[in-house]
Each structure stands twice: as C-alpha cells, then as structure tokens.
C-alpha cells in the first residue's frame, strides 16, 4: 500500500486537532478544582460529585434516557418494516419514497421544531414526554431506515427463498432469517438513534412541556448564568457517552459489512 502524501497527512492531522482539541479541553476543565472554570487550580472530581447530588440533574438524566429509549425503540420497530418493504419493492415507487424518508434529515432542525409545535398545538396534543418522543422519531426514523437498507443491500435473498422452500412461514422467515442477519445493523442503528435523541436540543426545545426537561435543556438553562465547572462536567459526560455510542454503532456496522464481504467471497 502506497503511503499518503505528507501534505494530506498533515491536513488530516490538523482537521482532527480542530475537531477534538475543544472537546479535550472541555473534559480537562471538568476536573479543574477552580470554581472559575478556566484557571487551573489542581485536579478534582468535586464537580462530578455535585452533579450526582443535584436532584434536578438526575431528573433530567432520567427523562433523557426514557425519551431516548422510547424514540429508539419505536424508530426501530417502524424503520425495520419500512426498510424491508422498500427493499422488497424497490422497482415501484422507491424514488419518491426515498425523498420522503430522507427529507427530515435535510430540513433545518429549527424549522422542524416549529412545524412540530404547530402540529401539536393544532391537534391539541399536550406537550411533554409524548411530544418529545414523537419529535425525536421524526429524525431517528430516517437514520434507522438508511442504516438498515444499507445492510439489506448486502443481504442475499437466497436464504429467505430457501427457508420458504422448506415450508417456513413469512413470520418465521422474518424472525429466524432476516432479523438475525440484520442484528449488527439493528444494534448500530439503535446506538446511533439513541445518541442523536440523547443529544438533541433544538427540536426538544420547541416540543418539551412542563416536567420534561432533558439534559441538553438543562445544560442550556445552566449556561444562562455563565459557564461553571458543573456545566463542564455535565457536558463532558454527555460528550463521552455520545462518542462511546457512536463508536459502538460504527463497530457493529463494520461487523455487518465484514460479514457480508466474507459471505460474498465464500459463495
């Protein structure tokens, strides 16, 4: 394998520094003993201890986890059926369905939040956990469909045909052949959807109601009085959790891709 040109390597290195140095600084300052936040006074974990002792932080964390789990579950449930259906009947109306599915990903979040708020007000839907879950499903569902369809493109339908020839019902084919083959992509899509839901602020800001404060909304309310070490600590936790979920999502999706490559080479 030929080595990459040095200017290209330098450009990639500088890009990584540009992206991750602020994150590293944020995580480092979260362990700063100084209450000023930017002046280093020594190593301390007192801000994390204060976060754990703050009931409003814990309530926001529980709210975020519940909303992320629910939106991820329903997005997977709907996205799995939609992805399989779109792959089975690609020759029909797939072009305009692809546009409709991908449209929420390109619409600005603030417009999506305003539109959802108007719909909920028009339908007299109370704002709260339910409205946030629905709002998060709007952008989680397209992500799920895209990831699952990418895996389905590598799926050999001969396995399903063989199961049907042996007398398996459609439900048995789905549960014993299709879903197990899609498991790495399903896990990857779930982790990515969970991360996006956990970190979302704009849509949540518009559709949240009383008693449904999430972690991003809590961070926003905390920085109104200035950047404090507690904000750094909470932001650091969210960054680490998000990066871990994205990394695991990439790992599971790469496993699915490696499996399809091995299967194609063996067949």
- Cβ neighbourhood burial of 154 (10 Å; 0-12, 13-18, 19+): middle
The reply to whether 219 falls in a domain is: yes
With beta carbons less than 8 A apart as the criterion, state whether 198 and 215 touch. yes
**Cβ–Cβ contacts within 10 Å for residue 160, how many?**
18
Residue 264 has what pLDDT? 47
Domain of residue 196: give its range: 57-266
260 located within any domain? yes
- Is pLDDT above 60 for 256? no
- Would you say residue 19 lies in a domain? no
Residue 35 lies in a domain: no
Instruction: Please report whether residue 202 resides in a domain.
Output: yes
266 pLDDT band, cuts 50/70/90, is very low
Q: Which pTM was predicted?
A: 0.79
CATH code for the domain of 216: 1.10.3720.10
Give domain status of residue 33, yes or no.
no
Is the pLDDT at 261 greater than 50, yes or no?
no
pLDDT score recorded for residue 265: 47
Does 23 reside within a domain? no
> Per the domain annotation, does 91 fall within a domain?
yes
Closest CA to 28 of 18, 40, 16, 17: 40
In the prediction, which pLDDT does 67 show? 93
Helix (H, G, I), strand (E, B) or coil at 107: coil
Residue 223 has pLDDT above 60, yes or no: yes
| Count of structural domains within the chain | 1
CA dist., res. 184 & res. 262, Å (int) = 15
Torsion of CA 64, 70, 74, 76, to 10 degrees: 70
Q: Worst-scoring range by mean pLDDT, 14-18, 65-69, 107-111, 232-236?
A: 232-236
């Amino acid at each position: 394998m030929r080595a990459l040109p040095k200017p290209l390597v330098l450009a990639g290195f500088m890009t990584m520094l540009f992206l991750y140095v602020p994150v590293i600084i944020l995580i480092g300052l979260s362990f700063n003993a100084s209450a000023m936040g930017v002046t280093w006074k020594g190593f301390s974990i007192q801000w994390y201890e204060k976060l754990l002792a703050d009931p409003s932080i814990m309530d926001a964390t529980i709210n975020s986890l519940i909303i992320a789990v629910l939106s991820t579950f329903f997005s997977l449930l709907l996205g799995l059926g939609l992805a399989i259906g779109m792959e089975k009947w690609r020759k029909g109306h797939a072009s305009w369905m692809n546009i409709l599915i991908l449209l929420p990903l390109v619409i600005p979040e603030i417009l999506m939040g305003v539109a959802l708020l108007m719909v909920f007000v028009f339908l007299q839907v109370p704002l709260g956990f339910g409205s946030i879950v629905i709002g998060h499903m709007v952008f989680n569902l397209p992500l799920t469909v895209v990831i699952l369809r990418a895996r389905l493109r590598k799926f050999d339908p001969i396995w399903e045909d063989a199961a049907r020839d042996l007398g398996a019902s459609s439900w048995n084919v789905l549960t014993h052949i299709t879903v197990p083959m899609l498991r790495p992509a399903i896990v990857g899509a779930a982790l990515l959807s969970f991360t996006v839901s956990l970190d979302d602020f704009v849509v949540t800001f518009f559709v949240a109601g009383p008693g449904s404060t999430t972690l991003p909304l809590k961070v926003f309310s905390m920085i109104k009085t200035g950047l404090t070490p507690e904000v750094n600590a909470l932001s650091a936790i969210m960054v680490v959790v998000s990066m871990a979920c994205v990394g695991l999502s990439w790992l599971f999706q790469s496993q699915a891709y490696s499996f399809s490559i091995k299967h194609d080479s063996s067949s």
